[in-house]
Amino acid sequence: MSILVILGSSRKGGNTENLINNLLANIKHERIYLADHYIEPIVDQRHTATGFEPADDDYPLILEKFLAHDTIIFATPLYWFGMSAHMKLFFDRWSQYLRDERYDLKANLSNKQAYVIVTAHYPDPNLTALPLIQQFNHIFSYVGIKFIDYLIGHGNKPNDILTDQLALAKVEQWQTALQLDASL
């Protein structure tokens, strides 16, 4: 099992990354900070005769790293009641690559399993983040990714998440599961 974290935060060292740091402290993994990469917004050309035009950005590199792993942890703060813009761009570009003949993206995605970490604050993070969890579930269902579990952490200011005992307890559960999977 190989683990990749896709971080959608626009700030390094925030609550979302703190949860990842706690979760994967002693587990081999790779990280992609989407904010460190240039990703062009999608121009929907699904219904044109020529299809999608190539974009001159970092997405092919990100996609290659993504495809090389079988366990993906998507981590994003809740921004305006949805995923971060960085994370949304990542998913939007799947429309292009699902139609790119160089990739069998849907078949490749169906061999992956996913975890989701969302950090939120206002006013009840569980209630406000659940629609985002549903969105991830629909995305995964559409492409055949096995959705293992999600975690909604409560935090606003830096390090607030470290006081969320429920989130930290779930991190410990995931650590055990990921360590067991990694040893297989």
Residues 9-29: tens digit of each pLDDT: 988 989 999 999 999 998 899
Residue 95: the pLDDT is 86
- Say what percent of the chain tops pLDDT 70: 97
CATH 3.40.50.360 for domain 3-183: yes
The whole-angstrom separation of Cα 7 and Cα 175 is 18
Around Cβ 169, how many Cβ atoms within 10 Å? 10
Which residue type occupies 179? Q
Residue 180: the pLDDT is 67
The pLDDT of residue 152 is above 90: yes
Average pLDDT over residues 49-66: 88
Average pLDDT over residues 47-68: 88
First to last CA, the chain: 8
Cα distances (angstroms) measured from residue 35 to each of 31, 83, 142, 149, 157: 12, 13, 25, 24, 19
Average pLDDT over residues 72-80: 95
- Read off the DSSP letter of residue 160: G
Average pLDDT over residues 102-120: 92
Both tokens assigned to 164: 């969320």
pLDDT band at 125 (very low <50, low <70, confident <90, very high): confident
- Say what percent of the chain tops pLDDT 90: 63
Pairing of strands 71-77, 30-33: unpaired
Range with the poorest average pLDDT among 53-62, 68-77, 137-146: 53-62
- Of 97, 117, 116, 119, the C-alpha closest to 108 is 97
Residue 136: the pLDDT is 97
The pLDDT of residue 96 is above 90: no
pLDDT band at 182 (very low <50, low <70, confident <90, very high): low
